[in-house]
């Protein structure tokens, strides 16, 4: 094993800086999977892209809440300080709970109609059964809806675009 570096420069030279994701990485991930779904006519590939979008969106809220809880560090008290402005913005859309017994742990859940639906759809797809997608028109992928009853359900891309718009707005407001 190599000796430990002596200087900050030597430590920094050990780090692959390109491996560290940028702060808006989850925003970009959401945009990526929504872009894939927006061009995908095959139902299974569309469903998989939407599933990935849901997970990225959920992760965006979880990571944004975690970051807001631990945004600042006070070396004098050896404690983290919450970014109350960011938490206020997030709490308009998601509930945020920081468990005091677990360091660096935050849990979120949907509060607004849009985020409640997002969290429910994601939970069902992740924990219960694969997402059901119904073709409601020949205009694909726009004609795909969530659900299994023909000509009913939530238009999938319309819903996901609303979620994406919300994520972009929140991202601007909290400065992630």
Beta carbons of 125 and 54 less than 8 angstroms apart: yes
| Overall number of domains in the chain | 1
Q: Is residue 12 situated within a structural domain?
A: no
CA distances from 125 to 131, 147, 153 (A): 5, 11, 15
Confidence class for position 3, pLDDT limits 50, 70, 90 = confident
pLDDT of 1 strictly over 50: no
Q: Is residue 10 situated within a structural domain?
A: no
Which position has the higher pLDDT, 7 or 21?
Answer: 7
Q: Is residue 18 situated within a structural domain?
A: no
Q: Is residue 65 situated within a structural domain?
A: yes
Beta carbons of 157 and 142 less than 8 angstroms apart: yes
CA–centroid distance for 147 within its chain: 22
Q: Is residue 15 situated within a structural domain?
A: no
What's the alpha-carbon Rg for the chain, to the nearest Å?
20
Q: Average pLDDT, stretch 99-116? A: 86
Tens of pLDDT along 128-163? 989 999 999 999 999 999 998 888 889 999 999 999
Q: Is residue 55 situated within a structural domain?
A: yes
Tokens, residue 61: 């809220």
Domain of residue 55: give its range. 24-174
Tens of pLDDT along 22-40? 668 899 999 999 999 999 9
Confidence class for position 20, pLDDT limits 50, 70, 90 = low
Q: Is residue 31 situated within a structural domain?
A: yes
**What is the average pLDDT score of the chain?**
89
Q: Is residue 4 situated within a structural domain?
A: no
Half-sphere exposure of 121 (CA within 13 A, CB side): 28
């Amino acid at each position: 094993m190599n000796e430990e570096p002596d200087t900050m420069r030597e430590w920094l030279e050990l780090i692959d800086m390109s491996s560290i994701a940028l702060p808006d990485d989850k925003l970009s991930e959401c945009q990526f999977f929504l872009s894939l779904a927006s061009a995908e006519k095959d139902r299974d590939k569309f469903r998989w892209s939407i599933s990935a979008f849901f997970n990225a969106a959920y992760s965006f809220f979880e990571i944004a809440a975690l970051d807001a809880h631990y945004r600042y560090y006070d070396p004098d008290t050896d404690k983290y300080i919450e970014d109350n402005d960011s938490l206020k913005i997030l709490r308009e859309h998601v509930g945020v709970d920081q468990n005091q017994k677990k360091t660096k742990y935050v849990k979120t859940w949907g509060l607004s109609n849009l985020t409640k639906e997002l969290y429910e759809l994601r939970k069902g797809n992740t924990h219960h059964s694969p997402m059901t997608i119904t073709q409601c028109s020949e205009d694909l992928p726009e004609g795909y809806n969530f659900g299994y009853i023909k000509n009913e359900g939530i238009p999938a891309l319309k819903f996901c675009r609303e979620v994406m718009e919300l994520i972009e707005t929140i991202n601007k407001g909290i400065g992630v």
